[in-house]
Amino acid sequence: MQAVLRISGLPATALDAAAAFHGEHLPRARAELAGEAEALVLVFPVAPYDHSAWRKAAVADLARETTPKRVNGVTGEDAAAIDATLAWLAQAPGITGQLLPVEASAAGNSGI
């Protein structure tokens, strides 16, 4: 089973957003992974480029921490593209620790 955790309400600046994620959302992610979920996908809203480093590190570190469970991140605004990517990740057991940006134009091609 793949759990999905949609991240929202983060501050605009990268440092503040990282702090909010680690304080509010990371405990929820760990709780999901402590349960029966075999995989977790964190869905982040679109943000400026300086957010990508902390997001990549959080996803990769959480994936390492919870091996053999899988953790990935998706970032985007288009619901269809995100849904297509979530479906693809559910069928891709070898993919973990990745932050995948998605766009509407790619929704017909697996969403990534």
Q: Which amino acid, one-letter code, is at 75? A: T
Residue pair 5/43 in contact by the 8 Å Cβ criterion: yes
For the chain, percent of residues with pLDDT exceeding 70: 93
Distances (CA, A) of 84 to 13, 41, 66, 70, 87: 29, 13, 25, 18, 5
pLDDT category at 111 given cuts 50, 70, 90 is very low
66-84, pLDDT tens digit by residue?
A: 999 999 999 999 999 999 9
C-alpha separations of 103 from 9, 18, 68, 94, 111 in Å:
21, 23, 29, 22, 7
Q: What are the domain boundaries of the chain?
A: 2-106
Residue 2 in this model has a pLDDT that exceeds 80: yes
Residue with tokens 């793949």: 2
Does the pLDDT value for residue 56 go beyond 90? yes
> What pTM was estimated for this model as a whole?
0.89
